[in-house]
Amino acid sequence: MFAFMSRLRDNDIWVIARSIIATMNEPIPNLDAILHQVGKPARYTGGEWNAVVKDWDGTGIKIALCFPDSYEIGMSNMAVPILYDLLNRQADVLAERVFAPWTDMEALMRQNSIPLYSLETKHPLKEFDIIGFSLGYELGYTNVLNMLDLAGIPVFAAERDDNCSLIIAGGSCTLNPEPLADFIDLFVIGDGEEVTKELVDCFRVWQVEGKPGGKTQLLRRLAAISGIYVPSLYHVEYQPGGTIKSITPVDKEVSPVVTRRMVCELPPPVTTTVVPYVEVTHDRGAIEIQRGCSCGCRFCQAGMIYRPVRERSHDEVMQTIEKIINDCGYDEVSLVSLNTSDYSGIHQLVNRIAREYPNLAVSLPSLRLDASAIKLLSFLPTRSKTGLTFAPEAGSVRLRRVINKNVTEENLLETAATAFERGWTTLKLYFMVGLPTETTEDVSDIVRLVEKVFAIGREASRRIPRVRISVATFVPKPHTPFQWVAQEPEASLNAKQEILQKALLHRKNISFSWNDPRTSLLEGALSRGDRRIGRVIYNAWKLGSKFDAWTEHFKFENWQRAFVDAGLTPDFYARRERPLDEVLPWSHIDAGVTTAFLKQEYASAVKGDITEDCRYQACNVCGLQRWQAGCWEKAAGK
């Protein structure tokens, strides 16, 4: 039933929107007057099923959960519902959602002096005590500034006084928080569940005590909580050549290193997620079956910053499915994890789901590229048989060894054959170009592999298969074995893409997409940037940049100008090889995986040596062994 509601036309939405707004003594006048002028007005109405609306005046702590992109993207994010549920379960706390308004809505809001507001009670953002941003990709940074500005909040932390809300941020991008240090009061680094509670508890005490010492005192107290980074309490010194000399705390009370928070056990899953009115990117129920991955792919930041692996039990997953169906009405669920194939007993679980919910569509993202994946998928009801996606990442065996993607060509071809034989008609393959040590021969190997898959498809399915090829540009990320390497220059990237375009473009039943190297350059500079990048982000935003992750909105010329005006270059951050002893902008953030382990992995990459998955082999001593031992003791002590 509820799934039907998300298919309502704009006009129906408009009728509902008016009725919702009419019932609310909404603090945002004129909203009614503009909603019919924008696309998808339901992005801005709130009132969805399972939305939590609390008594504004009767609730002590007010928290806005902001996602710096559109409603459709934000509502598909896993972190927002977890924090929304966790915070709203506290009697004296209300948490409300705020997404970046699309450009048509923003223009009308600015014209009508309508400040950015929350969906639940339509309160202006600046009336919240705490404003939290979820940061999952760097190209959303200008939206953070734009949302603060649209809310009438000074974008620079240094320009905000004690009456201003506390601006915080979490998410994978905070493993290098420096590029946003000028704008964010504090960063939550790592798993958010436990530290968010500690943050709210600390805020509550400060509030009850009458806010002694203002925000300065509050930030000091919060900085004492493990996993919280307050950039204003650290001083960055630079070498004459522009690299970092040191990042030091302003005094002895402040810890020189901030350690990533990790939960030993995954908290109870969220089952009463807000059901959107408009179709969103991932329009289904989602269950995080495990967090972390230990495959050890050397380009993958998630594999390093979310380890170690923590699983939910089969029973917990089954109970969650039951609740999600009852509470949200979804007829499709996604079993979310970084590497679903490695979840313990995944075949038994999928079989059990198919048996107990024969009509439920199940999506299984991130399957390992081997025949076990096909066996898994064959348990699912036919309508779950949507396109199949695998990520060989590199065309040659040699390069896959460099990136520690332990997949053989036989694996890929056998899996493809099985898939086509079992009735799949479309196969999507992800590759990257610009990987360390990559040659044009390796790139040609991508074409050779695609040709083989296509031929197998024809053979196995006795009809013309569809093969979709997506080739991303490799962007080195902090806290990975490749954090020191230089990103490939545009000219050689273009030459490699030309090899692929020549062979794969305009081919019947083969679709080919690739990244614009300029977007990847920007992503590279923002992800490995230091604190000075803040000025670049500010300049680009002032020049009109926002929604940079959307091709139609990406304005590279703004960023070129922004770097020049800041006296910096993107190449310094993205295309410069770093010596292994250089002080990196994120060196004061301890992700748990040690620098020694990353250097060892980098050396293994250059030699083309594989590091086995510690899930099935011995521990690779990545640095988390002490922390893991602590969890086992905790579990044993229960």
Q: Tell me whether residue 308 or residue 392 sits nearer to ligand SF4 (CB atom).
A: 308
Q: b/e string for 259-275 if b means 16 or more Cβ within 10 A?
A: bbbbebebeebbbbbbb
Residues 6+ apart with CB under 8 A from 622: 307, 592, 593, 594, 597, 614
CA-based radius of gyration for the chain: 25
Distance set, CA 425 to CA 282, 372, 450 (Å): 22, 18, 15
Residue 294: CB minimum distance to ligand SF4, A: 5
Q: Tell me whether residue 155 or residue 593 sits nearer to ligand SF4 (CB atom).
A: 593
Decide: 419 and 376 in contact? Cβ < 8 Å.
no
Residue 383: CB minimum distance to ligand SF4, A: 37
Residue 599: CB minimum distance to ligand SF4, A: 15
Q: Tell me whether residue 299 or residue 597 sits nearer to ligand SF4 (CB atom).
A: 597
Residue 305: CB minimum distance to ligand SF4, A: 12
Whole-number Å distance between alpha carbons of 457 and 142: 43
Q: Tell me whether residue 292 or residue 395 sits nearer to ligand SF4 (CB atom).
A: 292
Whole-number Å distance between alpha carbons of 556 and 562: 10
Question: Closest residue (Cβ) to ligand SF4?
Answer: 614
Q: Tell me whether residue 111 or residue 625 sits nearer to ligand SF4 (CB atom).
A: 625
Q: Tell me whether residue 19 or residue 625 sits nearer to ligand SF4 (CB atom).
A: 625
Q: Tell me whether residue 270 or residue 293 sits nearer to ligand SF4 (CB atom).
A: 293
Whole-number Å distance between alpha carbons of 99 and 109: 14
Residue 591: CB minimum distance to ligand SF4, A: 12
Decide: 110 and 150 in contact? Cβ < 8 Å.
yes
DSSP for 289-357, please give it: -EE---S--TT-HHHHHS-S-EE--HHHHHHHHHHHHHHH--SEEEEE-S-GGGSTTHHHHHHHHHHH-
Q: Tell me whether residue 505 or residue 619 sits nearer to ligand SF4 (CB atom).
A: 619
Binding site for ligand SF4 (CB under 6 A): 294, 307-308, 614, 619-622, 624-625, 628
Q: Tell me whether residue 224 or residue 619 sits nearer to ligand SF4 (CB atom).
A: 619
Q: Could you identify the residue written with the tokens 């300049």?
A: 539
Q: Tell me whether residue 116 or residue 624 sits nearer to ligand SF4 (CB atom).
A: 624
Residue 173: CB minimum distance to ligand SF4, A: 22
Q: Tell me whether residue 4 or residue 616 sits nearer to ligand SF4 (CB atom).
A: 616
Whole-number Å distance between alpha carbons of 370 and 413: 9
Q: Is 113 left (phi over 0), alpha (psi -120 to 50) or beta?
A: left
Residue 593: CB minimum distance to ligand SF4, A: 7
Residue 480: CB minimum distance to ligand SF4, A: 14
**Biggest alpha carbon–alpha carbon distance for the chain:** 75
Residue 614: CB minimum distance to ligand SF4, A: 3
Residues 6+ apart with CB under 8 A from 455: none
Residue 290: CB minimum distance to ligand SF4, A: 13
Residue 586: CB minimum distance to ligand SF4, A: 19
Q: Tell me whether residue 292 or residue 524 sits nearer to ligand SF4 (CB atom).
A: 292
Whole-number Å distance between alpha carbons of 404 and 295: 8
Burial class from Cβ neighbours inside 10 Å (0-12, 13-18, 19+) for residue 355 reads exposed
Closest CA to 49 of 252, 370, 275, 383: 275
The amino acid present at 296, given as its one-letter code, is G
Q: Name the DSSP class of 106.
A: H
Whole-number Å distance between alpha carbons of 175 and 184: 14
Residue 66: CB minimum distance to ligand SF4, A: 32
CA atoms within 13 A on the CB side of 324: 29
